[in-house]
Structure 1
Amino acid sequence: MRQRKFGKTGLTVSEIGMGTWELGGREWGDIGEKEAVDLLQYAFEKGVTFYDTADQYGGGRAERLLGEAFSVLGDRVVIATKLGYELDSDGWISQGGTVPAFNASRDYIRQAVEGSLTRLKKDAIDIYQFHGPPPAEVWDEAFGTMEELKAEGKIRFYGLCLGNKAQALKAIAETGISSLMLTYNILNQDMSKPVMKTAAENGIAVVARQPLSSGLLSGQLNADTEFAENDYRKTWPREKFLADLERVEQIKSVIGDKARSLPQAALKFILAHPAVRCVIPGMMSPAQVDDGIATSDAAPLPTAILEKLREN
């Protein structure tokens, strides 16, 4: 597994990390706790050292699984978790009407960090990220609180997940973020310019999320695919799903035989961007972990193929 420097933090991480939204359950179907812990430890044994999670994944379950799997490893793994969505008494997102309630106040951040530290069984969170941009009215308060937590040793670094171009550029210019987690894949390249370029120029690590576009670039979905009732993809509009499948077929024709598989090509495309420090596919089995390792070891995509894919 190839390693990359994580911006200007001094951390080194595996270029292919592991997202844990799927391990939280409910939104993706169920996975047993022992199976999940075994999978996390298998990934570490194979060289994966970066793990992304959030306090709301599985009602805190994903963080607890990481704590169970890695509490004795200390600095040998880097865990990035997220906060912001208000949680109910069971740890699930509190629905404020139809839109989840987002809270980035000083008091809420301090409450949230203690919960994550407990579930992760850590003295300090490696990378603490807002799970969306703080509202304008608490922007300064929110990032100021992150600086306080860093000074107190409760977090090592902090970052921002998601947001639009203007919000990402504002965070780069005005705050002390060390990382940006953005959606970036062959099907969605909107953040490539100017956000990712600006981040790289400022030593801010970019983590690419949804590299396989929630399975569209896995090579395993087709027009007959039926999603489980507790799989969030069940809510995808049918017409959009079919249109995306057509785009995937066009992408496959561009790649041809230049990669072992469509997922490998999708990850190699992302890793070819100089701003990207780590990509975080969801992994639900040892075979998918092995695929990630093979992807890291594989040769880069030819420049001509990359250029065509960037036109997609």
Structure 2
Amino acid sequence: MQFSKFAGSDESITRLGFGAMGLGGTLGSYQEEELIRSVLHSLEKGVNLIDTARAYGDSERLVGKALKEWTGKKPFLASKIQSRYPGGVGWGTVIPVEEAFPKGWLRESTEISLRELDVDCIDLMQLHQYWPQWNKHEYWLEELLQLKQEGKIRYIGVSLPDQRHDIALPLVQSGMVDAVQTVFNIFDPLALDCLIPFCQENNVAFIARCIMDEGGLSGFLTEDTKFEDSDYRKSFFDYVPRSMYMERIDRLRQFVPQYADSLAELAIKFVLKHPGVTTALVSMHVPEYADQNIAVLAKDPLPDEVFEEIFRYHRWIRNFYDTKFW
């Protein structure tokens, strides 16, 4: 298992975290008992960070039920405050903070999360969206600081609304937050240009999400792969013709098995290569896949020259939110 220090503290967290969006049904239907067991399984394997959100359906409740059964050391628990923007959209374009997170809502949403998770304190509470225009309305930060003072949360963070990682640079430099979460993977490595080094310099935790590009980088996708209507990926992979996506995946197969035993392993090794990545979130609601992902942490990292080749020549920048919400 690999660990890193969270936000300049002495607190060690695993470099792979349990991304709990899959517990809410957005990545396919599973029995509740299976999902609870998946959380316990990953904890048993040594993972000590769980990232969930108010917007992830039943995810918080199921994490809470799993934690009631867990007899080991309490994991580092992260959640996110759900936006109240009308219609639940607003991911791809700037929205007023007063509409996304009106005064009083941050406390109310946090209290709901505490009840659903059945805990007294959440280690990291994040805004589920963030735009730099919000910095001139610091009431949202004041509310979170008050919750921190009351012992209901320990750290404050933001989750960026899409791949535009540079919008967080002023916030990282300001010292206002402890963590930033955003998209980072083989296809979209741009956070390495500025955001990750800025986070390192300012003792801000960098949390990578979508490291498998919603599973596409694992190589599971075929021309005939079908998704349930409730599955988040139903339209994701057809942002462009699916054959184009698969062609990009096939280009990565040249690195397997010499540098990774699978495409999924290659994706994880790529994201964890830079020491500025505090933790990388991956769906672990299927124990078999969780085992494979966790096993990567005991293997040799990508050689520098291989990492550089992938970084330079295999990027494929796409903003899924362009077509999903615009």
Q: TM-score, normalised by structure 1?
A: 0.90
Q: Which residue of 1 aligns with 2:8?
A: 8
Other structure's SS at 1:281 match:
strand
**Counterparts in 2 of 1:75 and 1:158: CA distance versus 1, 3 Å:** farther
Partner in structure 2 of residue 242 of structure 1: 243
Match of 2:306 in 1: 305
Residue in structure 1 matched with residue 318 of structure 2 by the alignment? none
1 CA distance for matches of 2:72 and 2:175?
28
Q: Is the 8 A contact 2:270 2:307 kept in 1?
A: yes
Q: SS of the counterpart of 1:214?
A: coil
Q: Is 1:124 aligned with 2:125?
A: no
Amino acid at match of 2:81: L
Equivalence for 2:171: 171
> Which residue of 1 is the match for residue 42 of structure 2?
43
Instruction: Tell me the distance in 1 between the aligned counterparts of 2:75 and 2:154.
Output: 13
Q: Counterparts in 2 of 1:91-240, with a 5 A limit?
A: 95=87, 99=90, 103-133=100-130, 136=133, 139-163=137-161, 164-236=164-236, 237=238, 239-240=240-241
Identify the range of structure 1 (48-57 vs 253-262) with the bigger mean alpha-carbon deviation.
253-262
Match of 1:56 in 2: 55
Query: Residue 158 and residue 119 in structure 1: after superposition, are their counterparts in 2 closer, same or farther (change >3 A)?
Result: same
Change (3 A) 1:149 1:218: same
Which ranges in structure 2 are unaligned for 5 or more consecutive residues? 315-326
Deviation of 1:10 after TM superposition, in Å, equals 2.9
> 3-state DSSP class of the match of 1:41?
helix
Give the 3-state SS of the residue equivalent to 2:181 in structure 1.
strand
Letter in 2 for 1:272: K
1:70 and 2:67 equivalent?
A: yes
Does the 8 A contact of 1:104 with 1:135 survive in 2?
no
For residues 254 and 34 of structure 1, the distance between their equivalents in structure 2, rounded to whole angstroms, comes to: 37
Give the aligned residue type for 1:45: E
Q: Deviations over 1:95-132 (max 9, x none)?
A: 16x64785223311011010001011111110000111
The TM-score, its normalising length taken from structure 2, stands at 0.86
- RMSD, aligned α-carbons: 2.1
CA distance in 2, matches of 1:290, 1:227: 24
Identity of aligned residues (%): 30
Say whether residues 1:258 and 2:259 are aligned partners: yes
Q: Is the 8 A contact 1:254 1:309 kept in 2?
A: no
Contact conserved, 1:19 with 1:281, CA < 8 A, in 2? yes
Instruction: List aligned pairs for 1:17-32, cutoff 5 A.
Output: 17-25=17-25, 27-32=26-31
State how far apart, in whole Å, the 2-side matches of 1:304 and 1:165 are. 25
Q: Which runs of 5+ in 1 are unaligned?
A: 87-92
**Distance in structure 2 (CA, Å) of the matches to 1:165 and 1:20:** 22
Post-superposition CA distance 1:133-177 (Å, at most 9, x none) = 057357411112111111111100010111433431121123421
- In structure 2, distance between residues paired with 1:240 and 1:80: 35
CA 1:241–1:223: 2 relative to 1, 3 Å = same
8 Å Cα contact 2:165/2:191 also seen in 1: yes
Q: Please tell me the residue identity of whatever aligns with 1:281.
A: V
State how many pairs are aligned.
302
Q: Kindly provide the amino acid, as one letter, of the partner of residue 18 in structure 1.
A: F
Q: Which amino acid aligns with 1:8?
A: G
**Relative to 1, partners in 2 of residues 1:165 and 1:284: Cα closer, same or farther, differing over 3 Å?**
closer
Aligned to 2:322: none
Counterpart contact for 2:180–2:204, Cα < 8 Å = yes
